[in-house]
């Protein structure tokens, strides 16, 4: 039995295609301007198909955020295994945000998501646990609490958010990695 992808009534993996389409759309206009109908058009299906798969708009964004947290955890883990260096994990944090803007922006916008979603909670806990391995203190729920870990997370996250919001001048925007390494080195752990 051949799985006829892309032509018949059943799509094959529409869920996957819808998430990809959503990520593309988010990359262009941000998570808040996402339109379910535009996503449907992009994926070549009817206007109500996305809502069927994800319940509602927040459901689609929640799926994007969950996948983002998984990819995020992957990226941080890779760097930690390779270097064993806190600072490099921080740089990877920022790099992920720059290279995966759509995912990153969606991940940190809780008012657009279904907060209680178990899949999102699992992925969040995983990315927190990865951060924990790098910075050193979290409880069972993945809540970071040790002051040194909080300081590092806050510094890297704040720098990343300000950078992506266009709050820095060209001196900083041209070499964000170098600047982040510099300011990171000013933190007593």
Residues that bind its own copies (CB under 8 A): 29-30, 32-33, 108, 110-112, 115, 139, 141, 143-145, 147-148, 150-151, 153-162, 165-169, 171-172, 179, 182-183, 186-189
Burial (CB < 10 A; 0-12, 13-18, 19+), residue 169, is exposed
**Which of DNA, its own copies, none is residue 154 near (CB under 5 to 8 Å by kind)?**
its own copies
Question: What is the sign, positive or negative, of the torsion defined by CA atoms of 55, 61, 66, 71?
Answer: positive
The listed partner (its own copies, DNA, none) that binds 37, CB under 5 to 8 Å by sort, is: DNA
CB-based burial of residue 3 (10 Å sphere; 0-12 exposed, 13-18 middle, 19+ buried)?
A: exposed
Question: What binding mask, one character per residue, do residues 30-59 give for DNA by CB under 7 A, x or -?
Answer: ----xxxxx-x----xxxxx-xxx-xxxx-
**Smallest separation (angstroms) from DNA to the CB of 37:** 4
* Residue closer to DNA, measured from CB, 48 or 162: 48
| Contact pattern for DNA over residues 121 through 160, marking x by CB under 7 A | ----------------------------------------
Residue 176 beta carbon to DNA: minimum distance, rounded to whole angstroms: 32
> What are 182's two structure tokens?
């510099």
Cβ nearer to DNA, comparing 36 with 97: 36
Tokens 């609490």 sit at which residue? 145
User: Which does residue 32 bind out of its own copies, DNA, none, counting CB within 5 to 8 angstroms by kind?
Assistant: its own copies
Residue 101 tokens, joined:
């803007």
- 3-state class (DSSP) for residue 144: strand
- Bridge partners of residue 138, in order along the sequence: 144
Asked if 55 and 116 touch (Cβ cutoff 8 Å), the reply is no
Q: Which does 103 bind (CB under 5 to 8 A by kind): DNA, its own copies, none?
A: none
Q: Is the dihedral of CA 130, 135, 138, 143 positive or negative?
A: negative
Backbone CA torsion sign across 50, 56, 61, 67? negative
Compare residues 15 and 71 and give the one whose CB is closer to DNA: 15
Selection from its own copies, DNA, none that 172 binds (CB < 5 to 8 A by kind) is its own copies
Query: Are 73 and 100 a contacting pair, CB within 8 Å?
Result: no
By C-beta, is 42 or 181 nearer to DNA?
Answer: 42
């Amino acid at each position: 039995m051949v799985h006829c992808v892309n032509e018949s009534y059943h799509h094959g993996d529409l869920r996957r295609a819808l998430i990809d389409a959503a990520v593309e759309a988010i990359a262009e206009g941000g998570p808040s301007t996402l339109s379910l109908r535009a996503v449907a058009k992009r994926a070549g299906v009817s206007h109500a198909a996305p809502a069927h798969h994800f319940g509602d708009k927040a459901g689609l964004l929640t799926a994007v955020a969950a996948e983002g947290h998984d990819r995020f955890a992957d990226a941080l883990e890779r760097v930690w295994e390779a270097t064993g260096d806190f600072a490099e994990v921080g740089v990877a944090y920022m790099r992920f945000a720059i290279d995966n803007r759509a995912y990153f922006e969606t991940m940190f916008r809780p008012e657009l998501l279904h907060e209680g979603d178990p899949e999102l909670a699992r992925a969040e806990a995983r990315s927190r646990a990865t951060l924990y391995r790098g910075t050193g203190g979290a409880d069972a729920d993945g809540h970071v609490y040790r002051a040194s870990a909080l300081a590092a997370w806050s510094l890297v996250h704040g720098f990343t958010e300000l950078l992506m919001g266009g709050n820095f001048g060209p001196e900083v925007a041209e070499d964000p990695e170098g600047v982040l390494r510099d300011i990171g080195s000013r933190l007593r752990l």
